Amino acid sequence: MRASIHRLFSVDPAELGPAQHRDLRLDFFRGLALFFIYLDHIPANLVNWITVRNYGFSDAAEIFIFISGYSAAIAYGGTMRKRGFVLAAARILRRCWQLYVAHIFIFVIFTAQIAYVASRFNNPMFTEEMQIVDFLNEPHVTLVQALLLKFRPANLDILPLYIVLLLFFPIILWALDRRPYWVMTASFAFYVFIQITHINLAGFPPGETWFFNPLAWQLLFITGALLGRVHGNPKPSVPRKPILLWSAIPYLVIAFLITLTWHFPRLEPYFPRQLGAIIYPISKTDLSPLRLIHFLALAYVTVTLVKANTGFISWPIFKPIVTCGQQSLYVFCAGILLSFSSHFLLIELNGGVFMQIVVSAGGIVLMIGLAYLIRWYRRMDAVGSVRQPGRTQITGGE
pLDDT in tens, 339-378: 999 999 999 888 899 999 999 999 999 999 999 999 999 8
Kindly tell me if the per-residue pLDDT of 174 is higher than 50.
Answer: yes
- Which range, of 122-126, 292-296, 319-323, 343-347, averages the lowest pLDDT? 122-126
The whole-number pLDDT of residue 390 equals: 54
Region 313-321: mean pLDDT is: 92
Is residue 236 within 8 A of residue 244, CB to CB? The reply is: no
- How far is Cα of residue 86 from the mean position of the Cα atoms in its chain? 27
Task: Please spell the DSSP secondary structure of 97-118, one letter per residue.
Answer: HHHHHHHHHHHHHHHHHHHHHH
Q: Is residue 136 part of a domain?
A: yes
22 vs 265 pLDDT, higher one: 265
Kindly tell me if the per-residue pLDDT of 397 is higher than 50.
Answer: no
Region 315-323: mean pLDDT is: 94
Residue 372 Cα distances to 71, 309, 326, 366, 367, angstroms: 21, 24, 10, 10, 9
Q: If pLDDT is split at 50, 70 and 90, which confidence band does 17 have?
A: low
Q: Is residue 17 part of a domain?
A: no
Kindly tell me if the per-residue pLDDT of 4 is higher than 70.
Answer: no
Other Cβ atoms within 10 Å of 233 Cβ, number: 16
Is residue 135 within 8 A of residue 142, CB to CB? The reply is: yes
Position 74: which residue type? Answer: I
Number of domain units in the chain = 1
Region 47-65: mean pLDDT is: 95
Q: Is residue 71 part of a domain?
A: yes
Instruction: Determine if the pTM surpasses 0.85.
Output: yes
Region 1-14: mean pLDDT is: 64
Cα(395)–Cα(345) distance, integer angstroms: 34
Q: Is residue 333 part of a domain?
A: yes
Position 369: which residue type? Answer: G
Average pLDDT over the chain reads 90
Its domain, for residue 154, covers 2-10+34-379
- Which residues does 298 contact at the CB level (< 8 Å), separation at least 6? 52, 56, 58, 248, 252
Q: Is residue 389 part of a domain?
A: no
Region 378-389: mean pLDDT is: 74
The string of pLDDT tens digits covering residues 238-274 is 777 888 899 999 999 999 999 999 988 888 888 888 8
Q: Is residue 153 part of a domain?
A: yes
Kindly tell me if the per-residue pLDDT of 117 is higher than 80.
Answer: yes
The whole-number pLDDT of residue 272 equals: 87
- Which residues does 172 contact at the CB level (< 8 Å), separation at least 6? 183, 222, 225
> Apex CA 26: angle with CA 22 and CA 29, to 5°?
145
Using only C-alpha atoms, what is the Rg of the chain? 22
The whole-number pLDDT of residue 392 equals: 46
Q: If pLDDT is split at 50, 70 and 90, which confidence band does 325 have?
A: very high
- Among positive and negative, which fits the CA dihedral 199, 205, 210, 215? negative
Q: If pLDDT is split at 50, 70 and 90, which confidence band does 143 have?
A: very high
210 vs 304 pLDDT, higher one: 210
The whole-number pLDDT of residue 393 equals: 45
**CA atoms lying within 13 Å on the CB side of residue 166:** 30
The whole-number pLDDT of residue 396 equals: 43
The whole-number pLDDT of residue 19 equals: 60
Backbone angles phi, psi at 209, to 5 degrees: -130, 175
At 209, is the secondary structure helix, strand, or coil? strand
- Which residues does 104 contact at the CB level (< 8 Å), separation at least 6? 146, 147
Cα(323)–Cα(374) distance, integer angstroms: 10
Q: Is residue 28 part of a domain?
A: no
Q: Is residue 388 part of a domain?
A: no
289 exposure class (CB count in 10 Å sphere: 0-12, 13-18, 19+): middle
